[in-house]
Every structure is written in structure tokens, then in C-alpha cells.
Chain A
């Protein structure tokens, strides 16, 4: 039981490049989330999904897109990376809504130069 895994662990992009972050969970959870963590800011929700085929915007969605084609996977895309998107990205999942424990992946450290 791997829990929540994220790929890749580290990435460096140039401004304007695109990339996709992959999150996978093996707990059959309905809800999945993408957060970004910046120093002194706590975690901020980018997008989330309440089930396969559904996505919704969180607090800071601009510049990101997501897809949930399979229940176990949640992809985060950056279409044209900007230095302001330099951050650590965390994926999480929960059985149902946010009142349930969220299980976090180990994070992806992204640097945009």
C-alpha cells in the first residue's frame, strides 16, 4: 500500500515551458487535491476533484489545469510556466470530503527560471 505518490520529485523549468505533475493514490479515495506551499504562506489549494471525471477550482487556480480521468490519478498541468510558480506542490487524497483525514504525497519541488 503506497498511499499517495507524486512524480517527479524535483523539476527545473524555463519560463514558458510546460509540464505535468502526476499524483496517484491506491486507497480508493473519492477526493483528491493539489496544493502549493510557499515559505510563510501555509498550503493553498490550487484545484481539487470530488470524483472521477470532475474537477473544481481552489483558492489559487490561475496558470494551472487539472484532469481526473481515472479515480486513482490526478494530474496537474502548467501550460506556460512562470517564476511565480516556483513552489513545492503537494497532492492529497481523502475518502470523502475535507472532514475526513487528507493523506499527503511527499511533494514535488518545482523551480522556474
Chain B
């Protein structure tokens, strides 16, 4: 079975400082992993995805994530936070063992950015 654990429910950073949002996964197969972002009162938007190509994945808005099989991690980073990055971020894994339509979402990490 597949699962994801987001290690922090809330992260607060100052504008211009690095962002690190942590995600560990569990998967019986070579996983497909995603990060989605949800701005307040909006739907979710794909930031980036990993599907067994390069282990360092670059996404939109300067975010990137590194797939580390040995650590079963897929942490999301950004070198310099911007006020517009304040949102909730979801780490997501494809569920191979379940129904075709199944993504498994983490519980989310709310990112606050202080001026």
C-alpha cells in the first residue's frame, strides 16, 4: 500500500529565506509523487511531479523537490520565499494497489510567509 506523511502541519518563514516542506512516502512500487499547492479559497494546482526520471524535479514558481529513495523522502524546497507563496501544500502519491483513479493526499502543510 502507498501512503504519504507530511511532517509539519504548519511552517512559518520570513520573506526571502529558504522554504523546506517535508514529505515521506511509503510505496511498494516505484512511486509517482506530486506536490500540489492550494491558495486560500482556490482549487489545487500542480507544482511538480516525479515519475522515475530525474531525481531532482523542478516545478513552477521556483520550487523543486528531490526524490531520495534511501530516505523515502520527497521534500519540497525553494531558495527564497515570496509573500505569494503563502498557501497550503500537499504531497501526493499515486496509489498503484487501489483503484485506477486513486491519488493519496497528505494532510497538508500550511506555509506562512512573514514580511
Bound: A41/B88 CA distance, A: 12
- Interface bits A63-106 vs B (CB < 8 Å: 1, else 0): 00000000000000000000000000010100001110110111
Stretch from B12-20, B41-49, B66-74, B75-83 that touches the partner: B41-49
- Interface bits B49-63 vs A (CB < 8 Å: 1, else 0): 101000000000000
Q: Which of B41, B100, B102, B107 is in CB contact (< 8 Å) with A41?
A: B107
Q: Which of A4, A40, A90, A98 is in CB contact (< 8 Å) with B107?
A: A40
Q: Which of B44, B51, B99, B100 is in CB contact (< 8 Å) with A43?
A: B44
A60 to chain B, nearest CB (A): 12
A59 to chain B, nearest CB (A): 7
Bound: A97/B49 CA distance, A: 14
Q: Which residues of chain A are within 8 angstroms of B99 by Cβ–Cβ distance?
A: 48, 56-58
Q: Is B43 a contact of A4 with CB atoms below 8 Å?
A: yes
Interface residues of A, count at CB 8 A? 27
Instruction: Select the residue from B44, B45, B49, B103 with max chain A CB neighbours within 10 A.
Output: B103
Q: With an 8 A cutoff between CB atoms, is A50 at the interface?
A: yes
Q: Which of B32, B46, B101, B107 is in CB contact (< 8 Å) with A58?
A: B101
Q: Is A104 a contact of B45 with CB atoms below 8 Å?
A: yes
Bound: A99/B51 CA distance, A: 8
